[in-house]
């Protein structure tokens, strides 16, 4: 029996551990790390000694040891910013993210800095998907190498994740993005959210966005995205290197809460959002005892 109880977390059946059992999901996130694999040097003023991928990895491990269901996500601009990128073109960055167990990342504008080909070249080192719904990579080196969305199960929690990128023209040299087509993000976002909510029946919908937090102009941003759509619970943002002391919570088109978060840049911070879930209707199910036996039999 003891081993059965220990295994309980690995199976969806722990939904039946009790009618009101609460499930917890921990979302950890970064954005705009910009090749800052090491802490800033002593000559870097206010950031001296801050950041560092080995320190981030140890922190993530410590959180994983405490929490059963952890998602680790990045909102793009992995590339460019230190000599590591000039010399190695993103190889150690992608390897480090794979080693830390990232579940997904989207693409930022600087991820085109070695061209579409340069990003594609590093993908064999990625043990996580690149998720981007509004770039069409047909007839580029990235064709078929990214996905618009994914669905991840953590216990019996079903999480849908899609990605959005910023307009490339004027921001990225034409020859760097080549045939990549940028598609208007709001329409795509609504399609994705509808698909993940209705078809995939996700309990939580997350958008990895490199659109930027907010603009004075009418340019689409995370704030516009949150207000002009429905079905998105959480926007993990990037691009504007915005340090949010706490997430911004806005109302979507249906008046429901959307959380926007962004943690600056350069891996100076790790963001964390914990979600608690329960069933709205407290249906009564089989008791915990039979679940454990059932699991042992299957196992």
Partner 1 sequence: MPLLPGSMIRHSVLKCLAVLLLLLAGCAQSPLHVSSHSEQWYPINQAQPADSSLTQLLRPYRQGVDTQMDVIIAHTDIPLTKAQPECRLGNFMADAMLLSAQKMDPKVVAAISNYGGIRVPYIAPGPITRGKLYELMPFDNMLTIVEIPGDTLQKFCEVIAHYRGWPVSGIRFVIDGKKAKDILIAGQPLNGGRIYKIAINDYIARGGDNCDFLRKLPTRFSSVFVRDALIHYAEDLEHQGKPLHPPLDNRIRYAE
End-to-end CA distance of the chain: 13
Is residue 83 a contact point for partner 1 (CB under 8 A)? yes
Would you tell me the crossing angle of helices 115-122 and 91-100 to the nearest 10 degrees?
40
The answer to whether the CB of 258 falls within 8 A of the CB of 249 is yes
CB of 84 to partner 1, least distance (A): 6
Q: Which of 170, 216, 218, 255 touches partner 1 (CB under 8 A)? A: 170
CB of 253 to partner 1, least distance (A): 18
Span near partner 1 by CB under 8 A; candidates 69-77, 81-89, 142-150, 206-214: 81-89
Name which of residues 247 to 266 contact partner 1 (CB under 8 A).
247, 259, 261, 263
Q: Which of 138, 179, 181, 296 touches partner 1 (CB under 8 A)? A: 296
74-104 burial: b if 16+ Cβ within 10 Å, else e? bbbbbbbbbebbeeebbebbbbbbeebbbbb
For 297, counting Cβ atoms within 10 Å of its Cβ (0-12 exposed, 13-18 middle, 19+ buried), the class is exposed
Ramachandran area for residue 149 (φ above 0: left; ψ -120 to 50: alpha; else beta) = beta
* 102: enclosing H helix or E strand: none
CB of 43 to partner 1, least distance (A): 4
CB of 194 to partner 1, least distance (A): 15
**Any alpha helices (H) in 67-114, and if so which ranges?**
83-88, 91-100
Judged by CB, which is closer to partner 1: 42, or 144? Answer: 42
Span near partner 1 by CB under 8 A; candidates 65-73, 130-138, 144-152, 290-298: 290-298
Is residue 190 a contact point for partner 1 (CB under 8 A)? no
Judged by CB, which is closer to partner 1: 36, or 103? Answer: 36
**Any alpha helices (H) in 101-181, and if so which ranges?**
115-122, 174-177
Name which of residues 201 to 220 contact partner 1 (CB under 8 A).
201, 203-204
Of 220, 211, 214, 281, whose CA–CA distance to 248 is shortest? Answer: 214
100-139 mask for partner 1 (x: CB under 8 A)?
A: x------------x--------------------------
Is residue 285 a contact point for partner 1 (CB under 8 A)? yes
Q: Which of 51, 165, 185, 238 touches partner 1 (CB under 8 A)? A: 51
Is residue 22 a contact point for partner 1 (CB under 8 A)? yes
């Amino acid at each position: 029996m003891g081993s059965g109880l220990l295994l309980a977390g690995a199976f969806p059946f722990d939904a039946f551990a009790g009618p009101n059992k609460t499930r917890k999901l921990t979302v950890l996130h970064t954005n705009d790390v910009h090749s800052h694999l090491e802490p800033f040097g002593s000559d870097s003023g206010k950031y001296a000694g801050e950041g560092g991928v080995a320190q981030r990895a140890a922190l993530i491990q410590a959180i994983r040891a405490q929490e059963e269901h952890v998602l680790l996500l990045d909102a793009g601009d992995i590339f460019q910013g230190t000599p590591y990128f000039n010399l190695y073109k993103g190889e150690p960055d992608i390897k480090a993210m794979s080693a830390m167990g990232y579940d997904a990342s989207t693409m930022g504008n600087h991820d085109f800095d070695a061209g579409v080909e340069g990003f594609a070249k590093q993908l064999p080192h990625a043990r996580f998907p690149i998720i981007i719904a509004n770039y069409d990579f047909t007839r580029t080196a990235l064709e078929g190498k990214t996905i618009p969305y994914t669905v991840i199960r953590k216990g019996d929690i079903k999480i849908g994740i899609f990605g959005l990128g910023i307009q490339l023209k004027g921001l990225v040299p034409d020859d760097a993005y080549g045939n990549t087509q940028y598609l208007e993000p709001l329409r795509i976002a609504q399609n994705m959210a509808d698909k993940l909510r209705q078809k995939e029946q996700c309990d939580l919908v997350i958008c990895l966005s490199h659109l930027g937090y907010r603009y004075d102009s009418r340019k689409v941003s995370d704030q516009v995205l949150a207000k002009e759509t429905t079905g998105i619970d959480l926007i993990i943002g990037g691009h504007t290197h915005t340090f949010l002391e706490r997430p911004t919570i806005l109302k979507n088109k249906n008046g429901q809460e959307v959380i926007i978060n962004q943690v600056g840049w350069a891996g100076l911070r790790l963001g964390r959002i914990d979600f608690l879930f329960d069933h709205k209707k407290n249906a009564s199910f089989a008791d915990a005892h039979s679940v454990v036996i059932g699991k042992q039999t299957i196992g």
